[in-house]
Structure 1
Amino acid sequence: MNQFSKEYLVVAQNASGRNMNVPLYRFKGSKAGPKVYVQSSIHGAEVQGNVVIYHLIQTLKNLDICGEITLVPNCNPVGTNIKAGEYTLGRFDPINGTNWNRGYYFDQDLVTDFVDTVAEDEPLNAIKSRFRQAIKQKIDEKLTDTWGLGLAQQLNLKLQQLAFDADIVIDLHNGPVSTRHIYVPEYAKASATLFNIPHVILIPNQFAGALDEATFCHWWTLQDLLSAKRSSAIQFEVEAFTLEMGSQEVISFDEGLYDAQSILSYLNAKGCLVDAKYSPKEMQRVAVTLNNYKILYTHQGGIVEYLAKPGVEVKKGQPLAKVLNVDELENERGTETLFAPCDLIPILHFPSASVLSGTQLYKCFTHYIQLT
């Protein structure tokens, strides 16, 4: 069966100079296979991923695997512990204001220069190994820069070094008030149907700072450039995803088991498990390209009742929300109803009833298609 190990990664030091550690759980199979990396809670309020990893660990104790699976729960203990009253303010580094999920590394020029070093007959496994070393060495240089780095970027780069060794990278997140959805690189569209997730966002080869992009943008760019150089299609078989498993600030062990089994269905299909019975559920799955994942902003502030539920289709002209204006309670301007500008599926909405003008009220699928 598998070899199991547990160690700790120092991700930061607090103001007293004490190390802040996160546990790393590793399962190594007796047979060769893909390397898998799964992390959760880079945003402090997004805690459900820890329950998912708990279920994965309990299951993997009794499953034979191929390759290696590394699990990193609660990968941002700083964000997890930033509390204000009843709420976790763990989305941004409180010192620098940086989004904890936007400090990963991507370098288009490094990829271009690397392709020039690839010999015509160099095997793909050798290319992958050298490329990983090149990226990890560059990350090392950044982490030891004389001028230093902000805390969020330090944390991200340490995690990216672990993740970049993997063939499969899964970053577990939650929305504010949200239904399940997944970010999938366009080249891995077929893999979206291997998860038990009904809503799929297809991502282009554009880096915006997140871990999944820091993984697939490097490999996707290398794949395209090398395919052009060799005049034949090159596939490195590296995939990375962001899984959004529902709402933040809450956990459910039952829902966590569902999401763990969803991940195991994908891993089983990718040859990571031996004689396992996990397979994706028969379900309706819809997808959008990133440019059709729209944000509905508020035109005015007020107190909001959210009428449209995440995951439930809304037709053009149907109500999405009702806004109360406390300065106009005596007249017809006391309330305003917001209507859907087109057919859409709300995926998440702002968590508070009190909103300012310009708030991201809903994020919605528009011009969505059925996945088969």
Structure 2
Amino acid sequence: MKTKTLSRIPLLSPAPGTRRELVVHRYGEPGAGPKAYIQASLHADEIPAMLVAHHLIGRLDRADAEGAIRGEIVVVPAANPIGLAQFVNGGHAGRYEAGGGGNFNRNWPDLAELVGDDLAEKVDYDPGANQLMIRAAVGAAVEAMTPRNELQSLRVALLRLAHDADIVLDLHCDNDALTHLFLTPHHWPSGEDLARRIGSRATLLAADSGGDAFDEVFSGLWHKLARRFGPDRKIPQACLSATVELRGFADVSDALAEGDADALFRFLQDRGVVAGDPGPLPEAVGEAVPLTAVDVVRAPRAGIVAYRAALGEEVAAGDAIAEILDPMAEDTAKARTPVHAATAGPVFTIRADKFVRPGDTIAKIRGRDPLPDRTGNLLED
């Protein structure tokens, strides 16, 4: 028997004559098994994620028709209809809310802070009972939220869909990049199956990246409460939550998306959410390192980026990975400023737009050891 339902969640209207909504695909029965929540393109101009979600839904539809859904699955294939509609001078501007709300994937609420005081005298030594109690408290808290504008209504709707999931996957892409993954150290190496399924070339571990990103709402709930209440009161790490970076902006093709959707489907089989044999795990193609070990290479001046190191290339600390060229230089021999790597490792992101301003990120290099300047907010805005 098919279990799929389709729903539409309206957002608060920002103006007369304007109405936006989320489309939600649901499979399985609540409480029947593990719950997976998957959303695509919270940064609405990161198109590869939506195409992957499209292909994943097709696979889940077939699995549902075959009676293979063992848990509960919620897929939001376009998680940001606000950003989908934002264009400036013909260019899609889906990363920041045009009304002044900032980055769509920053400043999400701290659920542990929201429910911690109410739970202080209730959690005990039974991790299963604590998990149920915490989820009930969070569910009540997000249900009680009253959004005051369209952006808040989007955030509240997504929180209500995802708050009780065992697995949360937030699908994104970078500028021009290899596939990589953000996880908390509390889910490593237990999350290695996800990294190997998707072919993560760099798995970046941080308990708190400093930006209050969507994925950390759900993983952070559990490790923050565990830290607050101490080891004697057993708080499980009950949600594997990750940001999956599906290469770069231009990597939009059915061939790539079908492969990524197949990898995510097999991961759901690994976790018992979908029945069937997922096959053996692929060999790891990248390492897991602290997010503080990533060298975020920035432009020291404005100009044209001419890369010396290719995407995926291994570099050594001190290597000149790029030059910034001043097209207005009077002496062409002095027009170039080299930019050097601070660590050794593969270059896993570069920049598609080759004209940069001072401070713009031009590359990221996956090192192994924390870098002294990588403190505080570890994410780009």
Superposition TM-score, scaled by structure 1 size? 0.88
Q: CA deviation at 1:226?
A: 4.7
Pair 1:337 & 2:341 matched: no
Q: CA deviation at 1:307?
A: 3.2
For residue 74 of structure 1, the aligned residue among 63, 68, 78 is 78
The C-alpha deviation readout for 1:4-50, integer Å capped at 9, x for no partner, is: 11111113424334320121011116993101100011111111111
Q: Look up the equivalent residue of 1:116 and give its one-letter code.
A: A
Q: CA deviation at 1:346?
A: 2.0
SS at match of 1:323: strand
Task: Give the 3 Å change call, closer, same or farther, for CA 237–136 of structure 1 in structure 2.
Answer: closer
Task: Give the 3 Å change call, closer, same or farther, for CA 343–333 of structure 1 in structure 2.
Answer: same
Structure 1 stretches of 4+ with a deviation exceeding 6 A read none
Task: Give the 3 Å change call, closer, same or farther, for CA 224–261 of structure 1 in structure 2.
Answer: farther
Task: Give the 3 Å change call, closer, same or farther, for CA 102–119 of structure 1 in structure 2.
Answer: closer
Residues 285-300 of structure 1 aligned to structure 2 (within 5 Å): 285-300=286-301
Residues 39-188 of structure 1 aligned to structure 2 (within 5 Å): 39-63=39-63, 64-118=68-122, 120=124, 124-144=127-147, 148=148, 151-188=150-187
Contact kept, 8 Å, 1:268 with 1:276, in 2: the verdict is: yes
Q: Look up the equivalent residue of 2:314 and give its one-letter code.
A: E
- Give the unaligned 5+ runs of structure 1: none
The C-alpha deviation readout for 1:207-247, integer Å capped at 9, x for no partner, is: 632111000111222234455243xx542432100000011
SS at match of 2:97: coil
The residue that corresponds to 1:4 in the other structure is 4
Q: CA deviation at 1:282?
A: 1.4
Q: Look up the equivalent residue of 1:22 and give its one-letter code.
A: L
The C-alpha deviation readout for 1:340-361, integer Å capped at 9, x for no partner, is: 2331322222331111112122
Q: CA deviation at 1:279?
A: 4.0
Task: Give the 3 Å change call, closer, same or farther, for CA 366–125 of structure 1 in structure 2.
Answer: same
In structure 2, C-alpha distance between the alignment counterparts of 1:162 and 1:97, rounded to whole Å:
21
Task: Give the 3 Å change call, closer, same or farther, for CA 12–48 of structure 1 in structure 2.
Answer: farther
In structure 2, C-alpha distance between the alignment counterparts of 1:84 and 1:356, rounded to whole Å:
19
Q: CA deviation at 1:69?
A: 0.4
In structure 1, C-alpha distance between the alignment counterparts of 2:124 and 2:88, rounded to whole Å:
57
The residue that corresponds to 1:365 in the other structure is 366
Q: CA deviation at 1:124?
A: 4.1
Superposition TM-score, scaled by structure 2 size? 0.86
Task: Give the 3 Å change call, closer, same or farther, for CA 214–305 of structure 1 in structure 2.
Answer: same
Number of aligned residue pairs: give it. Answer: 362
Q: Look up the equivalent residue of 2:166 and give its one-letter code.
A: D
Q: CA deviation at 1:287?
A: 1.8
Q: CA deviation at 1:118?
A: 1.9
Pair 1:307 & 2:341 matched: no
In structure 2, C-alpha distance between the alignment counterparts of 1:353 and 1:276, rounded to whole Å:
44
The residue that corresponds to 1:228 in the other structure is 231
The percentage of counterpart residues that share the same residue type is: 24
In structure 1, C-alpha distance between the alignment counterparts of 2:359 and 2:319, rounded to whole Å:
21
Contact kept, 8 Å, 2:169 with 2:215, in 1: the verdict is: yes
In structure 2, C-alpha distance between the alignment counterparts of 1:15 and 1:99, rounded to whole Å:
21
